[in-house]
Structure 1
Amino acid sequence: MVKCIIFDCDGVLVDTEKIGNGVLLQMASEHGFKMEIEDAYHYFNGVSLKNCFLQIEAAIGKKLPEDFEENYRERSFEAFKKEAKPMDGIFDFLNKLTIPYCTASSGPLEKIRLNLGLAGLLDKFEGRIFSSYIIKSWKPDPEIFLHAANEMGFEVKDCIVIEDSVAGVRAGLKGGFKVYGFANGFNNTDLEEEGAELFGSYEELSKKLDL
Structure 2
Amino acid sequence: MSNYKCIIFDCDGVLIDSESIAIGVLIDMANELGADMDFKESLIGLKGKSLNSCMALISERIGKPLPMNFEPDYRSNTFEAFRKKIQPIEGIKEVVESLEIPFCVASSGPENKIRLNLEVTGLLPYFEGNIFSCYAIQKWKPEPDIFLWAAKTMGFKPHECLVIEDSVSGVRAAKAGGFDVFGYTEHDYKNELEHEATETFSKMSELITMI
Fold shared per TM-score above 0.5: yes
Q: Structure 2: any 5+ residue segments left out of the alignment? A: none
SS in 1 for 2:57: helix
Find the counterpart in structure 2 of residue 131 from structure 1.
133
2:38 to 36, 39, 46: 36
- Deviations along 1:11-39, one digit per CA (max 9) or x if unpaired, are 11011111001100111111122333343
Q: Is the 8 A contact 1:41 1:186 kept in 2?
A: no
- Deviations along 1:114-165, one digit per CA (max 9) or x if unpaired, are 0000110111100000000111111110000000000000010010111111
SS in 2 for 1:160: strand
Paired AA for residue 108 in structure 2: S
Find the counterpart in structure 2 of residue 13 from structure 1.
15
Q: Is the 8 A contact 1:41 1:187 kept in 2?
A: no
In 2, distance between residues paired with 1:106 and 1:185? 18
Q: Compute the TM-score of the two structures, normalised by the length of structure 1.
A: 0.94
Percent of aligned pairs sharing the same letter? 50
Q: How does 1:148-159 map to 2 (within 5 A)?
A: 148-159=150-161
- In terms of mean alpha carbon deviation, does 3-12 or 43-52 score higher? 43-52
2:91 to 89, 92, 96: 89
Paired AA for residue 130 in structure 2: R
SS in 2 for 1:102: strand
Aligned pairs, how many?
Answer: 209
Q: Is the 8 A contact 1:113 1:122 kept in 2?
A: yes
In 2, distance between residues paired with 1:188 and 1:36? 17
- Deviations along 1:172-199, one digit per CA (max 9) or x if unpaired, are 1111111111112444512223335211
**What displacement does 1:42 show?**
3.8
Paired AA for residue 125 in structure 2: D
**What displacement does 1:57 show?**
1.2
Find the counterpart in structure 2 of residue 172 from structure 1.
174
Q: Structure 1: any 5+ residue segments left out of the alignment? A: none
Q: Is the 8 A contact 2:166 2:188 kept in 1?
A: no
Aligned-residue Cα RMSD (Å) equals 1.4
Find the counterpart in structure 2 of residue 120 from structure 1.
122
Q: Compute the TM-score of the two structures, normalised by the length of structure 2.
A: 0.94
Q: Is the 8 A contact 2:18 2:86 kept in 1?
A: yes
Find the counterpart in structure 1 of residue 209 from structure 2.
207
- Deviations along 1:53-98, one digit per CA (max 9) or x if unpaired, are 0011122221111111111111110000000111100111111100
**What displacement does 1:203 show?**
0.6
Find the counterpart in structure 2 of residue 160 from structure 1.
162
In 1, distance between residues paired with 2:38 and 2:163? 28
Paired AA for residue 69 in structure 1: E
In 2, distance between residues paired with 1:88 and 1:21? 20
